[in-house]
Amino acid sequence: MFGSTVRGTAVAAVVLAGFAVSCDTDPVASASAPTGSASVAASASASASARPGPSGSVPAAPAASGGPDALPGAAPEKVRDAFAGLQATLNDACTPAECAHFLGRVHDELHGLDAAMKADPKGPGHFPEPIALIAKLDAELAGDRSFENLKKHQTLLISTRDKINTWMQGHPDDYR
């Protein structure tokens, strides 16, 4: 009797361990993911870059190529997906506790939409107003994505988002 209990416990442990491992990984991602300490370092680096620095400023984001969470070299998002991300900021506001995150997110969503529009099969000429509005914003920001600079240009940042939202609402075939 003792032998069958130990054997049953061992089988259950192996099954549970296999289940835990299979639920924890994505077979496609794990095939292309770095292994060992490189993977841990990449994860730590990615999460560290998203946190505000000691002065409360958010580090500069990499150039938008497909939205705020896109990997370098990844294909840009579709315009409808990028626009949905921008629209998700419409009900948010610059509260004292979340202002840096909010302004940085609006900035990132605008640049994800810009990249999606420029990569769209219809061509960037199909989206002249939004692309021009983002270019005007970028000229004012002068490459400085710090919280202090985004806060200084908060009115322009939010009005750019709102103008692009209005323009896109007038072009529903581009995001539905």
Between the two ends of the chain, the Cα-to-Cα distance in Å is 64
Give pLDDT tens digits for 134-159: 999 999 999 999 999 999 999 999 99
* Burial (0-12, 13-18, 19+ Cβ within 10 Å), 161: buried
Average pLDDT for 64-76: 55
Average pLDDT for 29-35: 41
pLDDT band at 73 (very low <50, low <70, confident <90, very high): low
Distance CA 5, CA 149 (A): 66
Give pLDDT tens digits for 86-136: 999 999 999 999 999 999 999 999 999 999 999 999 989 999 999 999 999
Q: What is the pTM for the complete model shown?
A: 0.60
Please enumerate in sequence order all residues whose Cβ is within 8 A of that of 143, keeping only pairs 6 or more positions apart, or say none. Answer: none
Give pLDDT tens digits for 33-54: 444 433 333 333 333 333 344 3
Q: Please give the structure tokens belonging to residue 44.
A: 């730590």
Q: DSSP labels for the chain?
A: -HHHHHHHHHHHHHHHHHHHHHHH--HHHHHHS--HHHHHHHHHHHHHHTS--TTSPPPPPPPPSSSTTPPTTPPPPPHHHHHHHHHTTTT----TTTHHHHHHHHHHHHHHHHHHHHHSTT-GGGSHHHHHHHHHHHHHHTT--SHHHHHHTHHHHHHHHHHHHHHHHT-GGGT-
- pLDDT for 62 equals 36
Mean pLDDT of the chain: 73
59, pLDDT greater than 50: no
pLDDT band at 23 (very low <50, low <70, confident <90, very high): very low
Average pLDDT for 11-27: 48
Distance CA 137, CA 114 (A): 12
Q: Please give the structure tokens belonging to residue 124.
A: 């960037």
- pLDDT for 36 equals 41
27, pLDDT greater than 60: no
- pLDDT for 53 equals 41
